[in-house]
Amino acid sequence: MTPDEMISAIPIPCIHVSLQGRVDALNEKAVELFGAAIRGRHYITAFRQPALLDRIEEAMAHGKSVTGRYIGRQAGRDTSYDVSVAPVMEGGQPAGYMMVFLDITHQEEAGERRSEFVANVSHELRTPLTAINGFIETLRGPAKDDPEARDQFLAIMEREAQRMIRLVEDLLLLTRVEDVERMRPSEPVDIAALVRSVASGLTPQAKAKQARVILDGCEGEKPAPGDSDQLTQLLTNLIENAIKYGRDGGQVTVRLEQLENAVELRGPGLKISVSDDGEGIAERHLGRLTERFYRVDSHRSRGVGGTGLGLAIVKHIVSRHRGRLRIESQLGQGSTFSVFLPYN
Ligand code: ADP
């Protein structure tokens, strides 16, 4: 069997390099990564990345296995590979070297996302903590005997502390939702009753903005398979956002529709849409709204007590229900957040 035949069945890029350092066999996956033209070339001109070349040289000099790293570029984005270079032994002597490329792009991206997330959380917590710390110092020093300033600072400290509590609660919630994301709920819940109950629970927030919350199609029973606590959370986040980012004295409409055949679901399901008549969201933000801590206007979001996690939580809840989320908005015309929940 030739080296080409032997490696043809391996589903990841594999390349055989002769003792003279020439590429003498490569499988289909390696052709996709490097192109067929590297066949017959010396490994130095085939791979070109000094760090990897050093590792190959080391393997060949000592007849041993080494690992290295290769940074590729496929479909316009960087890809990372763990590369193993190992001697192929024949009669106790290396007869060539097999290079195997393991794609670790996804792990690297997950690692980067984790670090970014930790940096974001730290930043979100540091801001209120710094504020509280500053006020403690002021209360101990300059404002020690000033009862008016004390009341004012204590009120701010309370607000900042509540913000941290909300942030930590949202983080815990996000983790819990992610934990069960693979377990799809099967018990039917009455979505109409959930909407009525969430809307009535948000009456104080609506009153504070003099907003009206209108329910459309939410009478009677409208069941769909779901997790009642999570759907309550989803409705709370969407309706609360519509109130928060809607107009003062504006109108929020929550509409329920049963669909025989929703294109979004490729089948029957329930559509929940929450619309406001606020200032809307520019198109370039729409695709990123469900990212953790993504805000159109950070100052405004913090001002209304936002954590920047509400829509990320919504996205995960929708995904657990195998549903779809659609966000439509136009500047000056308000926004509509629609959730499609499948019946089966
Ligand atoms: P936040 O806690 O900041 O409200 P969310 O994840 O719920 O976080 O929302 C992310 C961002 O999306 C908000 O900061 C806001 O800029 C924007 N947004 C969400 N809902 C609306 C809405 N109904 N109208 C306008 N902007 C909205």
Q: What is the DSSP string of 208-220?
A: HTT-EEEEES-SS
Q: Which residues pair with 67 in a beta bridge?
A: 84
Predicted confidence (pLDDT) at residue 344 exceeds the cutoff of 80: no
Q: State the Cα–Cα distance between residues 117 and 294, nearest whole angstrom.
A: 11
Q: State the Cα–Cα distance between residues 296 and 280, nearest whole angstrom.
A: 10
Q: Is 301 in the pocket of ligand 1 (CB under 6 A)?
A: yes
Q: State the Cα–Cα distance between residues 100 and 104, nearest whole angstrom.
A: 13
Q: How far is the CA of 175 from the centre of ligand 1 (A)?
A: 20
Q: State the Cα–Cα distance between residues 292 and 300, nearest whole angstrom.
A: 16
Nearest to 248 by CA among 220, 272, 267, 276: 276
Q: Is 306 in the pocket of ligand 1 (CB under 6 A)?
A: yes
Per-residue pLDDT of 33-87, as tens digits, reads 999 999 999 999 999 999 999 999 999 999 999 999 999 888 788 899 999 999 9
Which of 169, 251, 301 to mutate to test ligand 1, by most ligand atoms within 8 A of the CB atom?
Answer: 301
State the average pLDDT over residues 260-287: 95
Which of 239, 289, 291 to mutate to test ligand 1, by most ligand atoms within 8 A of the CB atom?
Answer: 289
Per-residue pLDDT of 180-211, as tens digits, reads 999 999 999 999 999 999 999 999 999 999 99
pLDDT at 80: 95
Q: Is 241 in the pocket of ligand 1 (CB under 6 A)?
A: yes
Per-residue pLDDT of 291-332, as tens digits, reads 999 999 988 888 888 899 999 999 999 999 999 999 999 999
316: buried, middle or exposed (CB in 10 Å: 19+, 13-18, 0-12)?
buried
Q: How far is the CA of 29 from the centre of ligand 1 (A)?
A: 43
Q: Which atom of ligand 1 is nearest to the CA of 297?
A: 16
Q: State the Cα–Cα distance between residues 47 and 127, nearest whole angstrom.
A: 47
Nearest to 135 by CA among 121, 146, 124: 146
Q: Which residues contact 167 (CB under 8 A, 6 or more apart)?
A: 121, 124, 125, 307, 309
Q: Whole-prediction pTM value?
A: 0.81
Bridge-based pairing state of the strands 212-216 and 251-262: parallel
Tokens 């759907």 label which residue? Answer: 231
pLDDT at 120: 93
Q: Is 308 in the pocket of ligand 1 (CB under 6 A)?
A: yes
Considering only 1-5, 148-152, 179-183, 313-317, which range has the smallest mean pLDDT? 1-5
